[in-house]
Structures are given as structure tokens and as C-alpha cells.
Structure 1
Amino acid sequence: MNRGIKRILVTGGAGFLGSHLCDRLVAQGHDILCVDNLFTGSKSNLTQLLGRPNFDYMRHDVTFPLYVEVDEIYNLACPASPVQYSVNPVQTTKTSVHGAINMLGLAKRTGAKILQASTSEVYGDPEVHPQQEEYWGHVNPIGPRACYDEGKRCAETLFFDYHREGRVRIKVARIFNTYGPRMDPADGRVVSNFICQALLGQPITLYGDGRQTRSFCYVDDLIDGLIRLMGSEDAITGPINIGNPDEFTMIELAEMIVALTGSRSPLIMRPLPADDPRQRRPDIARARDMLGWEPTVRLREGLTRTIAYFDALLSCAASPVLPIAMQGDIVLPPAYPVNRLGA
């Protein structure tokens, strides 16, 4: 094998982020094994890769061991939005914890380098702003979001214990809100919610007073950050924040999407969900210094690309039909074509 070509495993590879990562790694010429149980991923995200000689797909649940030979592992497997992980919170925790144990065991056996896709949710509802990697977080361990927040925190613990005890080569990325094409329209994330509501002419749902903030990173920038972290020297283990430090209120985001879509959707207020963070903004000094990375796509540009994707998706008669969907306050009319979760 060409020494520049690596055998790379991507778990959760049929998901939003995983499929974009597979695209980039396949384009670089590496041999890619994409593993996904399709709990929230979709094979439709991989149609452009199926049949490529350096791409293989395996339906597998990472809560069970996997025996393959690889050089690198990107561990992205896990539901990543409240709508998704509230469906089965126990399975979500198992995916984070058992999945981490199984993938770390595989990395230890093969000598592979392994990257954990962690999350800004490890900071919980932060009392420090912006969030630096040294901050330990403010998380409710028994709340409705704990299956995801604490599952990811435990996974980070496992990664560093395997690194210290077993000398496994690890990388930990803390991913902040990411958006772009291939987001599921019914996954309950704020960007997909607002865009679909605007395109469908439905009221745009804001929670609380709409002044809570998020920082949105376009998917291409995020993938670049993950690949740079994986390619960094072994001494750089992380955790490293990967996100866009530009901060917006939910009202600002909604108004921008309304303007870009030309929608007349009104804004409506709903009660704030339990444990919903009030502020979220990454300090990316470590990513800049250690990886030479920072995002390049501004929010307006990224939203324009994302809106075009959803506009085509919601207009495509060839898409699978979901009779009625009521997730994340999006109500899709009967026979309105959308991608079904897990299809």
C-alpha cells in the first residue's frame, strides 16, 4: 500500500458530519470504511460514494465490538440533537460510552490513531464565556439532556484514561453548533428548524426570549478542523474547540433566515426547554495556535448554501414521503416529500 494512503474507519459515517468527512477523505485517496447503524444516519447521504473503489459501507452498531484493520479512526457515532437522542436516551448513552470503549479497544489492538467527536455540550449551561477548553462545565447529570451531555463527558474520560494507561494515540475535538447541507429537516436543530419553517411559510419557533446565543460553524470548516487535528503531532491530544466564534442570538438568526428566504413567517415564542444553554461561543485560540485552523465561511454565506439545499430537498418529488411529521415544531403537510430519519 502507498504509504500516503491510510485505511480509515469513520463511525457514524452516514450522518450529517460523517458523510461530509467521508467525502473529504475519499477525495484525498484514502481507503474508507464507513460504519453506521442508521439510527439517525441515512444511506442517501452516501449515494455519491457507493461504488467508489476506495469506499466501503458496513451497517454496524458501535455498542458491539468491531474487528477490522485500520490506521485511523474517527469516532462520530451518536445521535446529536435533542429530538434524536430523546427517542432513546439509554441507547444514546450506550453509544457514547460503550462505543468509545469498543473503538478505543480497536485502536489499542491495531495501533491506530483515534479521534473522538466530542461536543460543546460538555460545557452544559456555561458560567464561563466564551468557553475555553480548561473550563470543566456546568452540566445537570440527571436532566433530559444528560444522556448526551454526560455520555460525551464520559467518552472524553475514557479517551484520556486509555491514553494514559494504554498509550493509545488520541485526539478529542469539542464540536460547536455545525450546519450545512445534509442536515435532517426533522432533527430539531435550530438552523434546520428555522429554514424549514421559513420555506414552508410556518411560524418560526423561538424559545424563551430568543436572546440566548449560539455560534454556528459551516460544515466544510468543521471537517477541515477535524482533519487537521487528526493530522497533528501525537503530543496534541486536545481537547480542542472546533467552532465559529461569531456569536448570534436566536432572534438574529431567525431574522437573517427570514430575509434570505424571502419568507413572511412570523416569529413566535415558546417556553425555554429544560437545561437549554443560555450562551455558547468557543474560544478557538488553541485551534489557531496548534492547528493553524479557523473558520472561513461567514454565517450569511453558509446559510445561503444551506437554504438552497433545503429548498431543493423540500421540492424534490423523488424524496421518500413522510405522511405527517411533527418534530421540532415543524409541521409538514401530508405527502410532503422529506428524507425520513434512518431511511
Structure 2
Amino acid sequence: MRYLITGGAGFIGSHLGEALLGQGHLVVALDDLSTGDPGNVAAHTAGGRFTFVKGSVLDEALVAELVEGCDVVVHLAAAVGVRLIVDQTLGSLATNVRGTQVVMQAADRFRRKVLLASTSEVYGQSQDVPLREDANHVLGRPVVARWSYSLAKAVDECLVNAYHRERGLSTIIVRFFNTVGPRQSPAYGMVVPRLVRQAVAGEPVTIYGDGRQTRCFLHVGDAVAALLSLLGDERAVGGTFNLGSSEEISVLDLGRRVIELTGSRSDIVFVPHEKVYGAHSEEPLRRVPDTARLRSLTGWRPTRSLDDVLLDVISEVRANAAVTK
């Protein structure tokens, strides 16, 4: 089959493309490289089954051409990361809402299956932990720029569900909870690569807020395995699925774990959220997914622990540091 991956040179997109190529499929990656990296897909060209197209999901003619030439669309392209959303709210809204409109219109025109990458941010400030797919969207104050991402992805889900319900389009929605691993940039608020790079460099490990907020981190390899399972199962069509780990850890303990695993002598330094994200900032206290729906349908379970995730990232950061010396 021929897969179109929007955001295909990004962190998750590049790993998914690699896995699909390994299964013998053809892959076209569309990416404007605003946050993606050509180096992520440099090795994909071997074998002649991979095509990279530099362009935007806002380009209607280009998207239509690429969608027509594929069998399945995996729509990963989005403005992500709290730092990016706060700094570039207007552009992020355009990418995340209008970009999905463009992709869905083309998919409907050519009747292509679509998998939409959504996010745990759609739950907003909900504390109904573990978060089930049918949990309420509890939005914070609209003045807080962070919640524009939550709103945009909720609108994306509404669009996708409407195309499935009203037009009979085959769609799948996946809500990612803190997927991490090799190739993830520390920019834009991605906590694991940032902490690892600080610890490896012997710099202060910065914890935003008091560090009591908890998260669950899933290895990108396990995330890709889940995506492949859903894409290959017609029972997933029309469904929304949480994707994440159940291994909950506070950000403070995460920083301590990173220091321990790197053997670093870095100190932990606390930085107020307001100093990082501005006067209007809010941080959900817990983000723990309920993945029972995904497990029940596909049998999927994570195969890597948090330490496995961290060691993979540490290995990559050290390898990159050695190359740049």
C-alpha cells in the first residue's frame, strides 16, 4: 500500500515511515520542516519506496495531489509543544485547524482512510484519572494560550468524526500521551530530551513549577506498534483511542531518574511556570491514560519501561554530542 504521512519528517512520523517501509509499503512524507528534520528520514530513501515532499498541509492543491496518489493518510502534521503554542499561537491555530480541514477535504474527495493524531491535551484540566476516551473536556481559562492547542485538536476530532458520521469516511483518532524516544527535539517544551541533554552536559536540570505534576511516557517504538495495529484492523474505523503508558511519574522524580541514569552531577533547579510560559500559564496536575479500549481491540501493550525510554534517549544524546566534538 501507499501511505501519506503528513509531518513525515518529524519525530513520530519518521519512526512510523521507517516501520511501514520495513513492512514493504510505499511511503510519501509531507513536511514543511518547521519542526521536522531531514536527517530523520535520510536513511529512508534506500530501496526506492520513500518519497519526501517539502510542503505545507495548508497547500490545498499539493495536499489533494498527494492524497489522490495514496491509499491511506496518517495526519501527524501539527504545531505541538507548549513553548511553540504559547509563542506562535496564531500560526499554530492555522496549522492545527485549517491544516486538518485541508487534509480531510482531500481525503473525502478521494475516499481515503485517515488516521488523525490527536493529543491528551483535549482533556484539558480534567482530573478524572485515568482518563478514558469518553471523559469530559475540561477547559482552562481561554486567556491561557496553552488551551488554544487543546481547543484546536478538539475541533480536529470533531471534523474527523463528522466526516465519518456524515460522509461515511473511514477514520481513526489516536490521542497521544507523552510519546518520547530518539529523534525528539528538546525544543518547544519536550521535557525528556531537555532534561537528558542538560544532565549529559552537566548543566542544571530545570524543573518547571514544583515538579509535582505527573506524566506517563511511552516509547515511540511502542507507539508505532499501536498505530500499525490500528491501521490494519477495520474494527478500529470510527474509533478514538488513547495511546500511552500507565507508568506514572512526577516531573521532579523524572529529573532525579535522568540524573541517576546519566551518572550526572547536575543540580536540580526549579523554575516558575510563569517565567517560562508567561504570566497566564496553567499546568494539568496529572495525565494518565486509560488504554483499555486499545488493548481490548488489538491486544497492544507497551513493551518498554520508562528506564528503557530514558536509556534510549541518553544513548542518542551522547552519540550526537560525540559527533559534534
What TM-score, normalized to structure 2? 0.93
1:39 pairs with 2:50: no
Identical counterparts, % of pairs: 36
Within-5 A mapping of 1:289-308: 289-308=296-315
In structure 1, give the amino acid aligned to 2:197: C
Partner of 1:341: none
Mapped to 2, the partners of 1:284 and 1:236 lie a distance apart of 17
State the Cα deviation string for residues 80-116 of structure 1 (Å, max 9, x = none). 2122333422121111111111111221122211000
Query: Is the contact made by 1:62 and 1:95 (CA closer than 8 Å) also made in structure 2?
Result: yes
Q: Kindly indicate whether the alpha-carbon contact (under 8 Å) linking 2:215 and 2:286 is maintained by their aligned counterparts in 1.
A: yes
Distance 1:111 1:31 in 2: 19
- Partner residue in 2 for 1:324: none
The aligned runs of 1:230-245 (5 Å cut-off) are 230-234=231-235, 236-245=237-246
Structure 1 window deviating more from structure 2 (52-61 vs 179-188): it is: 179-188
Measured in 1, the distance between the counterparts of 2:240 and 2:105 equals: 20
SS at match of 2:134: coil
58-67 or 170-179, which deviates more = 58-67
Question: How far does residue 122 in structure 1 lie from its aligned partner after superposition?
Answer: 0.5
The 8 Å contact of residues 203 and 267 in structure 1, kept in 2 or not, is answered as yes
CA RMSD after TM alignment: 1.4
1 CA distance for matches of 2:301 and 2:160?
25
For residue 82 of structure 1, what is the aligned residue in structure 2? 82
- Within the candidate set 10, 21, 26, 1:26 is matched to 21
Gaps of 5+ in 2: 275-280
- 1:287-306 C-alpha deviation (Å, 9 max, x unpaired): 11012111110011121111
Q: Secondary structure at the match of 1:297?
A: coil
**Cα separation, 2, equivalents of 1:289 and 1:233:** 14
The secondary structure found in structure 2 opposite 1:70 is coil
Query: Hey, what's the Cα distance between the residues in 1 that align with 2:79 and 2:322?
Result: 26
- Secondary structure, aligned partner of 1:44: helix
Q: 1:17 aligns with which of 12, 18, 33?
A: 12
Matched residue SS, 2:51: strand
TM-score by length of 1: 0.88
Aligned to 2:278: none
Given the superposition, is the C-alpha separation of residues 51 and 37 from structure 1 closer, same or farther in structure 2, using an over 3 Å criterion? Answer: same
Aligned length: 313
Q: How far 1:127 moved relative to its partner?
A: 2.3
Matched, 1:109 2:109: yes
Which is richer in helix? 2
Q: Which runs of 4+ in 1 moved over 3 A?
A: none
